[in-house]
Structure 1
């Protein structure tokens, strides 16, 4: 992803003052800039422009600078915006400019964060004000100060260490409290002390006598240990391939050095991450690690915290607003050398950036699918380039975009071909479903193999990428299907609790007593989901625990980690799950993986469907045979003779990826061509059809005049035309040059903003779309 593309119209920059907007604010001795007459403020709005205000009466201590948060009047509301420009003139007369209500910061927000937000808004053709809002924690959007919460820690003084401290003869409870604190050389926090029935009056009394002292420390991440020891446990020995990869990464720790760490599942990529981070924090720099799912964050955090004695903070949507702000501030202040998070963590400011690591870089969850449609992996590339630091993209199944850049020499390609265990990764064994009786989607030979594996004392993972009991409910008499009233989709049957639910709009409906069309009571579930498979396996193997892992069963906090902790004990059990189980989990006792239906994603209309399905199959297959026993992977399919599926089974993902790249090259599809997708939606079909036709006609005319090498395809209905009771239409832009694509996208946005028809339609431009759905 290149970092130098054209800027969207009317999105301003602040080049004159941007060098002064750094994490710590202005230096006290630096000369004050002249007081500006106009502040260009980015406010939370879909409008792609800055809004001019007069400075308030009270200037911040360091003077007005880009990066300061301000509260300003905006229409009938008062909102929190960010100063992006300091100027002496405005297109509006001074009498029409409203003054800033208040400045909320003494120092500007971090400069690296401001740069990333500007770049993101420009590249993804999004409003700068809305980009800034989405990139900062909720409490900062609400005007809270950028400061972490603190807690009290009480420590014994040298006077308190004496054998007979004075003033305690008649204060037995104070003596007991002092004795307890003596047992903790690093002190105790207030909560731990008060939990032992001591009081604050007793603490204050000991402070007045000079026997203990109170310290304030950040709640999220304290300072690193002062003994110079960064590791809590020794690093693991590396095999030859790991050592070669780590040596290559160490060569250029002070430069932009993008690398693809392409290693089979179980090859020890995480150990390479850990030892690279050890070198980075040894240079007093920070590491940012992105993981694809919240479910992977706890196990990743646990491994990093057990290895390092420095603060490690997490950033993901499962945190409270206060926890998120604490972690954000710890990273921005530099107190947290290691930051681990999901997609949105790419916007975490770092005082001393040293490396960015993207684990499972191929994963689709790194792409935001609504609002600001950014891709965290691509922003990681841009950010590492900006900071001139190494970038490590790790995966067993590289995306075709990343693989092509590695083959072209843009990324260094590091390979790990051997597992840490003595067994090679299991190959896919295709099992024909045609003409076979099934129980919850499983055929008898597969059920028999499951029983044999459990009898041998091992664990089995049954992968089915469908939540609920069954994909839908059907009438056996007339063929009626339970369809959603608001979407072009069928409703999923759930048993826990019993209802019909649409997984696209979350509409729910009670189960009907009879068919609404013919009145028959012969209603039957059609197909299988995780609930039905769990129920069937529990009946087939009543002595074996069955654990279902999907979005429904893991809603409660820590539910997933509790199940995985029980599974890692090693007792025979059955795991039934969706793709939540396919990514990154180390399940050493699983020796058999069963894929219930491999065909679901292979033949979708999206040109990336085969790539994504192959990645998912390879990832879930990687859960088998990771420790002391070899693994098997049984893939049930109706298309055992499909050439792509057969190539994946016989030669592995790398061979299939090479063939897909050649097919993409011939078809002029990404990564050999760049795409943008205009998405239109409205409650009335006629509105989107009219606007889509006008936009396509206007854009084609403009492209012809300019002679730009950009194709305009469509408009066409989206793969799911009606969703959430709204009609969806798409217009695709395609070009071999990224800069031309952005130029056409900027013109199209300006055209839409000036059309009255566009006010009745919700529209967005998706740069580098990862799915056409």
Structure 2
């Protein structure tokens, strides 16, 4: 009897597939299998089936198990991850396996994939009783109650993450009639829609189609919104759209209306909606669930992001994989989800750097979304008030179709007035600031408080102060493991490194000279929060940043407080700058914007302009007159002039002209080779050898290789880092050179690790 072999992709940096023997009939390509690898058992993905192996018979081992709970991944999905592996210079297994939920990559969990744990829902009595019936100091109980109130349902792992004794608590609440518990059988039926449809699947699809058409009335579309929806709904084949809409112009309504048209025409279709950050998913999910409440079953709309519990993420992923989920809403990792009936992709805030993964596989979710739409022959919508210059250039060249929303959707809402507070002029007139907050800004905050309106103060630096220093000897608190200063977090009485996570208590005196009068320099959001509480008496000040939202669900709770009007002044970082519809905010104050004007990073200006345009757009969204006050020492800077006019088009075209003259992206294509060593000399020596080896690579004459240089933060966690930039006017030439370069790089020694990043955002 002839033997059968399978070639399996493993999560391993070697760019090869691994041969294993299997019984007949062999598993199909796309099947997950458990295989021996060295002394371990690991999960891999079958890519090919063959009648022979080039290895000696004694070296080929047998597969150990096949994952029967998960249907094989499609050839289309395999082609997607193969493209990503080739383009981003990684092995196939390094792309395919991490794209799957952890539960699928753990063989021991395969039998339990469909053993759905109970889910808990608040009853009407529970919503009326909680959290008022709980002790004021019972923080864990209140977190659990808040999570139940905010979510449609909560599963057991999530409940245990919020409260260690959640099981007993939930049992007691069930006995009091405060919650309902969904049984395993109910959950399994809700999870597997096809089991309910059975032979009547077509009838169920027809019912869904009529339900979608009978959705309740929604806001009337403006002429521009209607034109955009018509264009998206009428698209044939691969159709990339750039939806350029000013803040508050109703881009979300365009997405929702386009999806309605899609599901009315194709009730079995699937849509992928990407958002840049996890904290934006709750409000998007709420809007989508409200609009598409008629879609049958909880799994019709699922979310996918890294903060989800393993079991919850696995259920959402499998619902999408089996075609059960109609809408998949997620962050960048969702772009690699298996969606067999994918018919529309939306990338909201497409300009956001968060779409570029900065560890492991350094992929761009936006770019993969575009490639995936081309692969499927469907429409992809890139939405933003401040599109990336790469996307804007593609639209200027006619490769993307531009759809414009030039005014706000609410009839009486206009874009806010943007004014500059000249800090130098304030100083000359003897009107200095208090902890970086100027007199005019304080007066504006007090005025809004008196009118019962909300204000937002933006500072993109968390912590209390970026530096703790000694005036006597010049000592500055630095991280012992990184070439960076540590940040003072006053509330925790701690010094923290935001690069490696090192933490220490704040010293009582200078460790060098013993001076007890050590002081913070600069300011972060914690210090601004403290200062505003004193400058604006009676104001309810709330801070939202990465420190205040560490606990699961905390960000959603804080944003709910803002929307409920329980906050007068909101202080925050970029977390509050985009996507949020604050109806009562009429004033935005911006602190410390100048720090990005003179950065060595050529993208710093683009990012600053986008950030300021986005945060400015939080003001005046519901008809209230909006005002934006930007504190600056350079009020005549061209960037601020464009901001004051809300002139993205002028800024983008001027910046593109500068990029063209300087031969920078999008007019050239770049890749970075990064090396990490025990010493900087070792990292630079490795890069020197690597650069020399490029002389013999294909298309070397079309590629420019720059000298190796230390990275901006040279040392992180006791590892020294350097980088080498490679660029070309031809994307094909650059990729061909990188492919030929990889085998040589694997032969070089002397560093801890190295990696190639294609299309880097940070240089």
Instruction: State the TM-score, normalizing by the size of structure 1.
Output: 0.84
2:6 aligned residue: 39
Deviation at 1:437, TM superposition (A): 2.0
Contact 2:445–2:536 under 8 Å retained in 1 = no
The structure richer in helix per residue is 2
Partner residue, 1:132: 96
Contact 1:468 1:530 in 2 (8 A): yes
How many Å apart are 1:36 and its aligned residue?
6.2
User: Are residues 531 and 73 of structure 1, via their aligned partners in 2, closer, same or farther at CA, if it must alter by over 3 Å?
Assistant: same
Pick the aligned partner of 1:727 from 717, 720, 724.
720
Residues matched between the structures, number: 683
2:664 counterpart SS class: coil
* Alignment partner of 1:692 out of 668, 687, 696: 687
Contact 1:148/1:325, CA 8 A, preserved across alignment: no
The structure 2 residue matched to 1:264, chosen from 239, 243, 246, is 246
Residue of structure 2 equivalent to 1:295: 279
CA offset at residue 149 of structure 1? 4.5
**Which residue of 2 is the match for residue 217 of structure 1?**
189
In the superposition, relative to structure 1, how do residues 555 and 219 fare at CA in structure 2: closer, same or farther (>3 Å)?
A: farther
Post-superposition shift, 1:467? 0.6
The match for 1:615 is 610
Please state if 1:248 is matched with 2:248.
no
Give SS of 1:54's match.
Answer: strand
1:398-417 to structure 2, matched below 5 A, reads 398-417=387-406
User: Partner of 1:229: helix, strand, or coil?
Assistant: helix
User: What is residue 345 of structure 2 aligned with on the other side?
Assistant: 356
Could you say what the CA RMSD is over the residues aligned between the two structures, in angstroms?
2.5
The residue that corresponds to 1:597 in the other structure is: 592
- Partner Cα separation in structure 1 for residue 68 and residue 749 of structure 2: 39
Question: Which residues of structure 1 form unaligned runs of 5+?
Answer: 1-33, 154-188, 205-212
Which residue of structure 2 aligns with residue 523 of structure 1? 518
Report the equivalent of 1:116. 80
CA–CA distance in structure 2, aligned partners of residues 498 and 113 of structure 1: 49
**Is the 8 Å Cα contact of residues 36 and 87 (structure 1) preserved in structure 2?**
no
**In structure 1, C-alpha distance between the alignment counterparts of 2:579 and 2:325, rounded to whole Å:** 24
With 402-411 and 230-239 compared, the bigger mean Cα shift is at 230-239
Pair 1:150–1:513, CA change in 2 (3 A): closer
Q: 2:483 aligns with which of 482, 488, 498?
A: 488
Residue 711 (structure 1) shift: 0.6
Q: What pairs up with 1:72-87 in 2 under 5 angstroms?
A: 72-87=35-50
Residues 715 and 36 (structure 1), Cα distance of their counterparts in 2 relative to 1, 3 Å cut:
farther
Matched, 1:89 2:52: yes
Q: What is the CA distance between 1:196 and its match in structure 2?
A: 5.5
2:420 is the alignment partner of 1:430: yes
C-alpha spacing 1:292/1:220, structure 2 compared with 1 (3 Å) = farther
Quote the residue 1:328 is aligned against.
317
> Secondary structure at the residue paired with 1:218?
helix
| Structure 1 counterpart of 2:537 | 542
How far, CA to CA, are the matches of 2:118 and 2:567 in structure 1?
Answer: 46
Contact 1:268 1:419 in 2 (8 A): yes
User: Residues 92 and 278 from structure 1, CA distance in 2 versus in 1: closer, same or farther, beyond 3 angstroms?
Assistant: same
Correspondence for 2:757: 766
In the TM superposition, residue 726 of structure 1 has moved relative to its aligned partner by 1.0
Q: Deviation of residue 89 (structure 1)?
A: 3.1
Structure 1 residues 347-496: aligned runs within 5 Å: 347-421=336-410, 422-434=412-424, 435=427, 437-496=432-491
Task: Summarize the Cα distance change of 1:748–1:511 in structure 2 as closer, same or farther, 3 Å threshold.
Answer: same
C-alpha displacement of 1:670? 0.6
Looking at structure 1, the residues matched to 456 and 332 of structure 2 have their Cα atoms a distance apart, in angstroms, of 27
8 Å contact 2:699–2:733 — kept in the other structure? Answer: no
For 1:128-277, list aligned pairs within 5 A: 128-143=92-107, 144-145=109-110, 147-150=113-116, 195=174, 216-219=188-191, 226=207, 228-230=210-212, 232-252=215-235, 254-277=236-259
Structure 1 residue 148: deviation in Å? 4.1
SS in 1 for 2:344: strand
Q: Conserved in 2, the CA contact under 8 Å of 1:457 and 1:572?
A: no
Aligned residue for 1:175?
none
Following superposition, the deviation at residue 683 of structure 1 comes to 2.0
Q: 1:151 to 1:680 in 2, by over 3 A?
A: closer
Question: Is the 2:699–2:737 Cα contact (8 Å) retained in structure 1?
Answer: no
1:565 equivalent in structure 2 = 560
Cα distance change of structure 1 residues 365 and 220 upon mapping to structure 2, 3 Å threshold: farther
Q: C-alpha distance in 2, partners of 1:708/1:535?
A: 58
Q: CA deviation at 1:409?
A: 0.5
In the alignment, does 2:78 pair up with 1:98? no
* 1:52 and 2:19 aligned: yes
Q: Deviation at 1:304?
A: 0.5
Q: CA separation in 2, counterparts of 1:215 and 1:353?
A: 25
Decide whether the 8 Å contact of 1:112 with 1:349 is kept in 2.
no
The whole-number CA distance in structure 2 between the counterparts of 1:387 and 1:663 is 36
Any stretches of 5+ residues in structure 2 without a counterpart?
A: 120-154, 157-169, 197-203
Q: Which residue of 1 aligns with 2:201?
A: none
SS in 1 for 2:29: coil
Bigger shift: residues 476-485 or 260-269: 476-485
Q: State whether residues 232 and 306 of structure 1, in contact with CA within 8 Å, keep that contact through their aligned partners in structure 2.
A: no
Q: 1:356-382 CA distances to partner (integer Å, 9 max, x unpaired)?
A: 000000001000001010100000001
What is the 5 A alignment of 1:625-704? 625-650=620-645, 652-699=647-694, 701-703=695-697
Alpha-carbon distance between aligned partners in 2 of 1:374 and 1:756, rounded to the nearest angstrom: 26
Residue 516 of structure 1 and its aligned partner are, at CA, apart by 1.6
> CA distance change for structure 1 residues 353 and 474 in 2, over 3 Å: closer, same or farther?
same
Using the alignment, how far apart are the partners of 2:15 and 2:542 within structure 1?
A: 49
Give the distance between the partners of 1:622 and 1:215, measured in 2 at CA: 42
**Aligned with 2:594: secondary structure?**
coil
Shift of 1:152: 9.0
Aligned to 1:752, the other structure's residue is in SS state: helix
Deviates more, 1:588-597 or 1:476-485: 476-485
Does the 8 A contact of 1:366 with 1:377 survive in 2?
A: yes
Instruction: For 1:197 and 1:291, locate their aligned partners in 2 and report how far apart those are by CA, in whole Å.
Output: 39
Secondary structure, counterpart of 1:48 in structure 2: coil
The structure with more radius of gyration? 1
Tell me, yes or no, if the aligned pair for 2:273 and 2:330 is still in contact at 8 Å: yes
Match of 2:127 in 1: none
Residue 388 of structure 1, CA deviation = 0.7
In 1, the alpha carbon distance for the partners of 2:690 and 2:325 equals 48
Q: 1:432 to 1:148 in 2, by over 3 A?
A: farther
Taking the aligned partners of 2:680 and 2:584, their CA distance within structure 1 comes to: 53
- 1: CA distance, partners of 2:470 / 2:193: 58
Deviation digits for residues 699-728 of structure 1, max 9, x if unmatched?
1x215x755411111211111111221111
Instruction: Kindly provide the CA deviation profile for residues 528-564 of structure 1, in whole angstroms up to 9, marking residues without a partner as x.
Output: 1111110111112231111100011011222222222
Summarize the Cα distance change of 1:456–1:692 in structure 2 as closer, same or farther, 3 Å threshold: same
Structure-2 change in CA distance of 1:322 and 1:707 (3 Å)? closer
Q: C-alpha displacement at 1:737, in angstroms?
A: 1.0
Matches of 1:756 and 1:482 in 2, distance apart?
35
Give a deviation string over 1:252-296, Cα, whole Å, max 9, x none. Answer: 1x4111000000000000000001011112212111100011100
CA apart distance, 1:113: 2.5
Q: Distance in 2 between matches of 1:730 and 1:572?
A: 45
Task: Calculate the TM-score normalised by the size of structure 2.
Answer: 0.86
**Structure-2 separation of matches of 1:51 and 1:247:** 49
Task: Kindly indicate whether the alpha-carbon contact (under 8 Å) linking 2:542 and 2:567 is maintained by their aligned counterparts in 1.
Answer: no
Query: Partners in 2 of 1:652 and 1:766 — Cα distance?
Result: 33
Q: Distance in 2 between matches of 1:748 and 1:527?
A: 45
1:74 to 1:152, Cα distance in 2 relative to 1, 3 A: closer
SS state at 1:446 partner: helix
Per the TM alignment, residue 495 of structure 1 is displaced from its structure 2 partner at its CA by 1.2
List per-residue Cα deviations over 1:145-204 (Å, max 9, x = no partner). 495444799xxxxxxxxxxxxxxxxxxxxxxxxxxxxxxxxxxx9999994599xxxx99
Deviation at 1:690, TM superposition (A): 1.4
